[in-house]
Amino acid sequence: MSEGLSFHFDVDGDSFTSAGQASVQVKKDLRRLGVDPEIIRRVSIAMYEGEINMVIHAHGGHAEVRVTEQAVEIILEDRGPGIADIEQAMQAGFSTAPDAIRSLGFGAGMGLPNMKRYTDHMDIQSTVGVGTRITMRVDLPQ
Partner 1 sequence: MTVQQLMEQGGFTAAALPEGDREVSGVYIGDLLSWVMGRAGAGEAWITIMSNRNIVAVAMLADTACILLAEGVQPDEGVAALAEEKGVNILCSPHSAYETALRLRDAL
Ligand X SMILES: Nc1ncnc2c1ncn2[C@@H]1O[C@H](COP(=O)(O)OP(=O)(O)OP(=O)(O)O)[C@@H](O)[C@H]1O
Task: Report the residue number, 21 or 68, with the smaller CB distance to partner 1.
Answer: 21
- Indicate which of ligand X, Mg ion, partner 1, none lies near residue 81 (CB less than 5 to 8 Å, by partner kind): ligand X
* Count of residues of this chain found to bind partner 1 when the rule CB under 8 A is applied: 26
How many Cβ atoms sit within 10 Å of the Cβ of residue 31? 12
For residues 57 and 8, give the distance between their C-alpha atoms in angstroms, rounded to a whole number.
20
For residues 29 and 55, give the distance between their C-alpha atoms in angstroms, rounded to a whole number.
22
Least CB distance to partner 1 at residue 37 (A): 7
For residues 89 and 116, give the distance between their C-alpha atoms in angstroms, rounded to a whole number.
12
16 interacts with ligand X by CB under 6 A: no
Given candidates 23, 44, 53, 132, which one binds Mg ion under the rule CB under 5 A? 53
Task: Report the residue number, 105 or 141, with the smaller CB distance to partner 1.
Answer: 105
**Window 63-122: residues binding Mg ion (CB under 5 A):** 111
Least CB distance to partner 1 at residue 42 (A): 10
Q: How far is CA 54 from CA 2, 82, 134, in A?
A: 31, 10, 10
Strand partners, 127: 131
- Sign of the dihedral defined by the CA atoms of residues 9, 22, 125, 70, in that order: negative
Residues lying near ligand X in the complex (CB under 6 A) are found at 49, 53-54, 56-58, 78, 80-83, 89, 94-97, 106-112, 132
